[in-house]
A and B are shown apart, each in its own frame.
Chain A
Amino acid sequence: MALDDFATSHGAPRVARLDVAPSPIFLLRGQSNMSLSIDANPAFAEYAHPERLVSTEWLAANLSAEGLVIVESNEDILLYDTGHIPGAVKVDWHTELNDEDTRDYVDGEGFAALMAAKGISRDSTVVIYGDKSNWWASYALWVFTLFGHEDVRLLDGGRDKWLAEDRVTTREKPSITASSYPVIERDDSVIRAFLPQVLEHFGKPMIDVRSTEEFTGERTHMPAYPEEGTLRGGHIPSAASVPWARAAAEDGTFKSRAELEAIYLDEAGLSAGDDIITYCRIGERSSHTWFALQFLLGFENVRNYDGSWTEWGNAVRVPIVKGIEPGAIPAGFGA
């Protein structure tokens, strides 16, 4: 999506941001044009984009704020219905964000229809939360970002933290006033990588966020999850192994910037300016890491390879490496 399209669809003139170069990533920054106040929680100030997180305290205080839509997105399609944050709408990753026929996400029209049905406008502040340390919520946020929805934030700590603090939940479905949402074509060029681009990426950093057993090839599925029919076990050559949950603290919130830097910079070897690809099994766990790299550590070129291991591990003639070592870039690939 071109920036001009966004400006047109968005209607009102945008606040000038002269300090930011007008690149596609511009849309991801969204600092000055957000419709609701930023959570001034000092714990977020150290992150590159603190405006991308809200605390449970902030959300509790803003539950009925004008222009806010709260979205719950879980792995379990029924979990929302057992009780959710008052006013929250459910977005199901499987039935609503994925295209039913093609292995892909919904298109611009599909996304516009979904947003309208959920009462989300282009200028809504969307706060997403979910189960499992926001694993699926991050995935939803990544898909919202493919469509350039500007003000989309995560509830730090997700569903579990909200419940652990005994905050109010309800089973009452919110009465949604359908909104109108412009048809914005998905932009797959900035934060999404496809298999051919991963092949071209050799020589630059990749982060494999699956479990160690999946990385080494000992197993092709998550521990305690069923076999999904991947033919080869292992990882993409040269990828560093950083299981996604390492970015999360015990309570499901993100770790501090210093802790994240120790993991991703010191251990995994990333450095400022790097062009990075993250992947997992189908792209959901790696959305969580994408979020941490992009918005908490401030890397500007991070793409999530959503084909991930269910594509790579089955694809013909793509190289893999088994074992705990990242492995060398295969001959004929890379710079």
Chain B
Amino acid sequence: MPPALAEIVEDFQAITEEQRLEMLLDFSEELPELPARFAEHPDLLEQVVECQTPLFLTIEVEPAGEHKVSLFFSAPPQAPTTRGFASVLAQGLDGLPAADVLAVPDDMPNKLGLTRALTPLRLRGMTAMLGRIKRQVSEQVAAAEA
């Protein structure tokens, strides 16, 4: 797991469940706004239909070198849990080489210590968010190298 994401996971694991939920709320408030090029073109974003509340995402990879990845998310304020997890991924993965993003274990969402507090449906939504990010990264790297 990339160091930034591993550190977030460790932070979550070090505290009580109640504190984890508070920290997830903090993350939800730190989710950056979409840049104008996406905010004005929501059609460029992919919906994570597995999430219980509307969550849209897209990524960009640098065309050359390590194909560093940028992540972009959009979710309404009335969906703090979904926003919180998107923000964890944004802070843990943004700016990393594509290979590092692809190496994140698929079950990473289950390691935040929230499997009791959140419903299986919600955890599945988080896993799907990571899965779709990885799929987009693979596709864009393949396109860049083609």
Contacts and interface: CB of A to CB of B under 8 A. Distances in A.
Contacts of A82: 25, 28, 77-78, 80
B24 interface: yes
A284 B78 CA distance: 19
B92 interface: no
B144 to A, nearest CB: 31
A79 B121 contact: no
A141 to B, nearest CB: 20
Contact of A75 (B21, B52, B54, B117): B52
B27 to A, nearest CB: 10
A94 B119 CA distance: 7
B49 interface: yes
Interface in A62-95: 75-79, 81-82, 94-95
B50 A226 contact: yes
Given A226-B121, A226-B124, A226-B125, A78 B24 contact: yes
Between B28, B80, B125, the greatest number of chain A beta carbons within 10 A of the residue's beta carbon is seen for B80
Which range contains the number of B residues in contact with the other chain? 20 to 34
Between A100, A131, A225, A228, the greatest number of chain B beta carbons within 10 A of the residue's beta carbon is seen for A225
Contacts of A224: 49, 54
B78 A228 contact: no
A77 B49 contact: no
B140 interface: no
A interface secondary structure, majority: loop
Given A226-B124, A226-B128, A78 B21 contact: yes
Interface in A211-236: 224-226, 228
Interface in B25-56: 25, 28, 49-54
Nearest to A78: B80
B81 interface: yes
A171 to B, nearest CB: 10
Contact of B52 (A78, A81, A100, A225): A225
A81 B118 contact: no
Which range contains the number of A residues in contact with the other chain? 10 to 19
A77 B116 contact: no
Contacts of A100: 116
Between B49, B121, B125, the greatest number of chain A beta carbons within 10 A of the residue's beta carbon is seen for B121
Contacts of B21: 77-78, 81
B84 interface: yes
Contacts of A228: 121
A78 B78 contact: no
A100 B52 CA distance: 22
B121 A95 contact: no
Contact of B78 (A76, A81, A95, A225): A76
B108 interface: no
Between B24, B54, B79, the greatest number of chain A beta carbons within 10 A of the residue's beta carbon is seen for B79
A224 B49 CA distance: 6
A78 B25 contact: yes
B78 to A, nearest CB: 6
Contacts of A76: 52-53, 78-82
A101 to B, nearest CB: 12
B51 to A, nearest CB: 8
A228 B52 CA distance: 12
Contact of A77 (B51, B117, B124, B125): B117
Interface in A176-231: 224-226, 228
Query: Which 10 A/B pairs are nearest by Cβ-Cβ distance?
Result: A78-B80, A226-B50, A78-B81, A76-B81, A78-B25, A94-B119, A81-B25, A82-B80, A226-B124, A95-B117
Interface of A: 75-79, 81-82, 94-95, 100, 131, 224-226, 228
22 contacts: A76-B53, A76-B78, A76-B81, A77-B81, A78-B80, A78-B81, A79-B80, A81-B22, A81-B25, A81-B80, A82-B25, A82-B28, A82-B80, A94-B118, A95-B117, A100-B116, A131-B78, A224-B54, A225-B52, A226-B51, A226-B124, A226-B125
Interface of B: 21-22, 24-25, 28, 49-54, 77-82, 84, 116-119, 121, 124-125, 128
Given A76-B79, A79-B78, A82-B80, 8 more contacts: A76-B82, A77-B118, A81-B21, A224-B49, A224-B54, A225-B121, A226-B124, A226-B128
